[in-house]
Amino acid sequence: MSKLPLEIRYVTPADLSAVLELDQACFGGLWTLEAYQRELDSPNSDLLGLFSSVSLNRLLGICCFWSILDEAHITILAVHPQYHHQGFGQALLYSVLKTACDRGLERATLEVRASNSAAISLYQKFGFKTAGRRRRYYKDNDEDALILWLPDLQQQQFQQTLDNWSTIISDRLTKASWSFVIDP
């Protein structure tokens, strides 16, 4: 049986219409074209996409982080709703943390909806801990956000954790007939 190709790579301007479609499917239009273009133009922003050449939706997921001093502030992580529960979120989170490590960043942070138990579980698997709460952070429904932190990205122990996650994710995707390539 042949494997279906998956690739994580930097988003390019040619991908922006697909990014907007994914944003609409996942968030109902959270960011505009101009906002994503700013991410591409900023030297302090990394916008990664999960692509498949054999899927109807060529762009299956995105993840973005800002480099702020020595931390990676993860601003977005989204997987198309048709592809949930297949390990794609793990692959994106792994890729963004690996990219942050390669940039020499020391820690990672993000905000997540307090009710998003699936996302919270994913982040906790990678070692994120709750550091606080932002009251009424999400303007669409005034929901609170949890502030999550992951320290010690440059420590040898975390590098070993990343290596373990790479194996786990690759094995999971291979069993589901995907062939996985990371190319940031």
Structure tokens at 33: 């074209």
Count Cβ atoms below 10 Å from residue 150 Cβ, excluding itself. Answer: 22
57 vs 53: CA distance, rounded Å: 9
Contact of 167 with 114, CB cutoff 8 Å? no
List the catalytic residues.
111, 123
Structure tokens at 30: 């959270």
β-pair type (59-68, 4-10): unpaired
**Residue holding tokens 């999550």?**
148
- Collect all residues with Cβ–Cβ distance below 8 Å to 68 and sequence separation of at least 6: 44
SS3 83: helix
